[in-house]
Every structure is written in structure tokens, then in C-alpha cells.
Amino acid sequence: MGVGPLEIDLSTHFKGWAKPGPVPPDATRDVEVSQDETLDAISGHFRIFQLRNGHRFSTDDVLTAWYGTTWAPAVASLLDLGSGIGSVGMIAAWRLPGARVVTLEVQDDSVRLARQSAVYNGLEARYEIRHADFRDPQALRPGERFDLVLGSPPYFPPGTGIEGDHPQKVACRFELHGDIRDYAAVAAAHLSPGGVFACVFPDAQRQRVEDAAGGAGLTIIRRRPVVFREGEPPLVTLFAMMRAADLPEPMHGSTWVEPPLVIRTSDGRVHPEYAAVKLAVGFPP
């Protein structure tokens, strides 16, 4: 007896790809979105509120969440530093459904949007958004520890480039509220034993990351350059770090350098490995 064609539910599929993961309560209801905002797909059925003309989540955010959640050995608690609109934290929360998440963000608009997204995605019970500068000693309790710390820091000192047309974009691009040294220092102070700090930074500025890690007592255990177009040099690198005190002495200062992750092939197609990465974080390939 022949098998007929499968019937595809368009609410659970997108261009032949089945959306994995939980379906948030608000996904089945009409949600009001203001004219200056958009509500966009992120991981699986999760969605994220963004300003139409403000900062929008990027490939760098997706890769940071993927890298950290892939290489942290066990995660019951997660901290996202300078969390912006929540893209890194939301993806990580989607991948780690049992983890408690704390995020720290100083910008008013970004905090408001992140809170809207947390409610939409049904995360309120385990996702705490703190409106604070992560450098403020009061932002985290002295004994607070996390198995995974994530950060997608701004890349450039103030005054070193075109700042953009929106204050939210400026703070995401330029180091107005901390630089890579601040991220590394706070991460090191609040990692659980054996915990991992994962971040992204321009490959051309890799020395700044190495200096920040060393200054904070961290060892970069692995890093992976990211090539956005096959045949071109890497633009950013992903880093995974642990406290040197949590590692055997021979691993101090030793870094495993992975082969580059290629985003698009030379003819513009999504690279097969990056398609697999996207599937792993609940994005269509």
C-alpha cells in the first residue's frame, strides 16, 4: 500500500524545516507590536522584540550562544554580560531548558525589549533580567556563581569609528559600558568551579582578548576563527575560557585552535557546517 504525501503544518514548519523546541504560550495568540518595533523569529518557536531602526541581533550573537552552550560541560546557571536585547541569552535559554539565566544590561530600551521577549517566550520563571551596568559591584552578589558566562562585547574604543544613527547601536558597537577586560574580569569572578566564559571578538584584535584573559586569571582553552566568506580572512573569533586555577598546570596558557568556521561558500551559499550550526540553535538552515 502506497504512502501519500505528508501534510505539513505551516505553524510548525518553515520551508520544509520543522521548528524544534517548546511552543511559547503567546505563539498561539495575536501579540500587539508597536510601530517602531518588530517581533522576529529566533530559536525554534522563540521570538525576539527589536527596535525597527535600532540594534538588531547578529550572526556574532548566534555564534556566541552556540559556542558557549556547546563547550560548557554542564550548565545549571548562566550569566549573560551586557546582554542587550537578549539575543544571546534567549538562544542559550532555548538550548538549555533546565538552566537558570541572569542577564545584565544598562540600556533602558534594550532591557524593556528583553523583558517583552522573555514574557513572550514563557521564560519568566527562570530568566532574570537585571537593569544594571555589569561593572557595578552591586549588580551581582559576591557569592553568585555561574556554570557558563556569555558575552558579545562591543569591539571598538569610543571615537575610533562611525558611531551610527541610534544610541542603542552606538553602545553595542563602542565600549561605552565596558571593554573586553571588564567582561573577562567579571566572568572570572563569578564562574563556578570548572565553568566556562565564552565570547566573540574581532580576530584582528585577538591580542586584546589574550591580554584580558591573562589579566583575569583565565586560560583560553579553545578558539575558533570565523570566516564570513570562503577564501577571505577571518573577521571574528570565538573564545572559550576557564579559570587557570581550575585546570592542570600543563594546560595553563595552552589553547586549542580549531579550523575556521565558514559562514558562506565562495559562491554565496550557506556553508554546510554553518547550516548544521544553525540547526543546532533552532534556526532554519
What domains sit in the chain, N to C, each tagged with a CATH number? 58-280 (3.40.50.150)
Q: Give me the pLDDT at residue 3, please.
A: 46
Q: Give me the pLDDT at residue 201, please.
A: 95
Q: Give me the pLDDT at residue 172, please.
A: 63
Q: Give me the pLDDT at residue 108, please.
A: 94
Per-residue pLDDT of the chain (285 residues; tens, 9 = 90+): 444 444 545 578 888 999 999 999 888 788 889 999 999 999 999 999 999 988 889 999 999 999 999 999 999 999 999 999 999 999 999 999 999 999 999 999 999 999 999 999 999 999 999 999 999 999 999 899 999 999 999 877 776 666 666 666 555 666 667 899 999 999 999 999 999 999 999 999 999 999 999 999 999 999 999 999 999 999 999 999 999 999 999 999 899 999 999 999 999 999 999 999 999 999 999
Q: Give me the pLDDT at residue 170, please.
A: 57
The phi-psi region of residue 122 (left if phi > 0; otherwise alpha if psi is between -120 and 50; otherwise beta) is left
CA dist list (Å): 284 to 7, 145, 192, 221: 19, 34, 33, 30
Q: Give me the pLDDT at residue 60, please.
A: 94
